[in-house]
Structure 1
Amino acid sequence: MNQLTSYAFELAQQGFKVFPLQANSKRPVTDHGYLDATDNVVQIGEWFDNDRHYNIGLQLADTNMVVIDIDQHGHGNGIEVLKNWQRRGMKLIPAYAEQTPHKGLHYFFKTNQKLSDKVIVPSVELKTKQIMIAPSELDGKAYQPIKGDDLDQLTLLPEWLLNLITSQKGVRTTLQNHLYKSWAGKLLDQLVTGTQQGQRNIYLTSLLGKLLRTGCDGDTAYSLLFFANEHLTPPLPDQEVNIIFKSLMRRETQKRGDKFG
């Protein structure tokens, strides 16, 4: 039994629900992603076959667990944000934490509040639905526990951070200029502009097609698709977004096979 399979069983025996992610990826194996998560060891045994090396997704939804996701790439440095908070007396001290393959941090907390996924500040996000967990791997590097060893002994989300999360209001800034907007710029705008309720499936399918035509990685397209869905009112259920992604990816794979086969 490989390490990933062994730990999936261990989590299930502790009462945590897990689900499989593609090897070396954040993409779910099943159509409904974290909604298929289970602590049933028979199902887990069928998923986490020794030869598959699937990554492990941990369900956060319908639990009292949340994760603060701190990045060090992209448009900000979450570590510097933490340092700035600490200088102001706003300490974030988890009982359990992991380091991600790209030197980010996942701080695990518990809360009695009903919260939703949210960007707190650039490079620091609140995760409330799902999270990839050690010893899963990306780009040949593993998620690693760096503090604590027990998800049952989490500390409460600090009151100051809870207040920050719940008091934030969405702000949209309109740039009043007449600069030429590139195709890529229009695509980025489309990620947040949304569409009418009856057009959400068509909108996300079209958007995903455009994202894939940029040549971006499948994991990137998957993350951006969920980002766009979060800006819809109301968002589609996650399982529907997963179905859209899997369906279009199958079509794209088939088209490329026909083209080069």
Structure 2
Amino acid sequence: MNKTQKKPLNGSLPTEVQETKNKSINSNYITKIDELIEQGLSVYLMQPKTSVPFKGSRGHLDATNDINELKQLIEAHGDDSNVGISIVDTGLVVLDIDRHGSKNGFQALLDLGIKFNLDEEAVEITPNAGAHVFFKIPDGVDVNNLNHILATGLELLTNHVTVSPSSKIVDKEVAFYRHYGLKITEANTMPKWLIDLSTKDRKPNKPMNRAMYSVSQRWEMVLNGFAEGERNNQAVSVSGYLLRINVDPNAAFDILKLINSRSVTPLPDREIFTTFKSAYEREKQRREKENR
């Protein structure tokens, strides 16, 4: 968690929000960000109608609950910026039910025999008519030991997520994220079926980027790029592998970018940077523990 995420809520928030409104910033927009901060969440901004951070920003790594900082960002970038929240160290995860192209996470749930009522959850309906469902992590479950890819169209998010009032272009028209049900921080605890899905075939305390792919599979990625639906997991795995075998970090990052460029659908450059930095920090911490 970065320093801004640890700052307490500003005592003069109502005054600052009113000042922002007086500068013609959309009241619904600032009210929504205010609500997120009131829940103790940290916010970051992205380019309008995209998931791409503004130039010079590190996305969710720069998330903050400092209203003064956010007010300055809003004034600089405008109230049509997309909004994301960091869920790192919040005790929350998000079930991403995707509906895009051939993917249909709702159908995947039915195929697995799983039914649950979205009306009883903390939900964000996405522009593609999918859903982001927030859940609290129960005691005894380690977020670092959870699977991310659960099934076709089903993914568990543990780092960050885009929320309303954000928007995206769908079929050449603007479509918005919409929130329903419980507040994010009042989300229900992960149900047993989701815990089972996210821990299936995983050993306790097994790092996410360890032994997910064989050495030969990783080198196949070098030739063919990352596979659709596995891009994030594969990027994490390759990053960790290269760093563990002592490839120079700069060279390892160049290799990661090369693999990504060979993918059918490359990840955004900023996401590749964030993924590699996270892997670098984990490897650094691992080596520090070994040397103690």
Q: TM-score normalized by structure 1?
A: 0.70
Q: 1:46 is matched with which residue: 60, 68, 72? A: 72
% identity of equivalent residues:
24
* Runs of at least 4 residues off by over 4 Å: 170-176, 189-194, 209-217, 219-223, 226-230
TM-superposition CA deviations, 1:142-195 (whole Å, max 9, x none): 1112x315223211110221122123337648999xxxx9x9962337856552
- Is residue 37 of structure 2 the alignment partner of residue 12 of structure 1? yes
Farther-moved stretch of structure 1 (160-169 vs 185-194): 185-194
Q: Distance in 1 between matches of 2:99 and 2:58?
A: 29
CA drift of 1:63 comes to 0.6
Distance 1:114 1:31, change over 3 A: farther
Q: CA deviation at 1:215?
A: 9.8
Structure 2 vs 1, CA of residues 115 and 107 (structure 1 numbering), >3 Å: closer, same or farther?
A: same
In 2, distance between residues paired with 1:75 and 1:235?
Answer: 31
CA contact (8 A) 2:96 2:133 kept: yes
Alignment of 1:32-181 (within 5 A): 32-49=58-75, 52=78, 53-73=80-100, 76-85=103-112, 88=113, 91=116, 93=118, 95-112=121-138, 113-116=141-144, 118-139=148-169, 140-145=174-179, 147-169=180-202, 172=213
Number of corresponding residues: 225
Please, which runs of 5 or more residues in structure 1 have no aligned partner?
239-261
The separation in 2 between residues aligned to 1:165 and 1:216, in whole angstroms, is: 25
Unaligned runs of 5+ in 2: 1-24, 203-210, 228-233, 283-292
CA distance in 2 between counterparts of 1:163 and 1:39 reads: 33
**What residue number does 2:226 align with?**
188
Cα RMSD over matched residues? 3.6
Indicate the residue corresponding to 1:24 in structure 2. Answer: 49
Higher RCO (C-alpha under 8 Å, 6+ residues apart):
1
Other structure's SS at 1:48 match = helix
Task: Determine if contact 2:121/2:187 at 8 Å carries over to the other structure.
Answer: yes
User: How far apart in 1 are the matches of 2:30 and 2:164?
Assistant: 11
- The question of whether the paired residues in 1 share the 8 Å contact of 2:48 and 2:167 is answered with yes
Is the Cα contact below 8 Å between 2:97 and 2:105 reproduced in 1?
yes
Please name the residue that 1:203 is paired with: 252
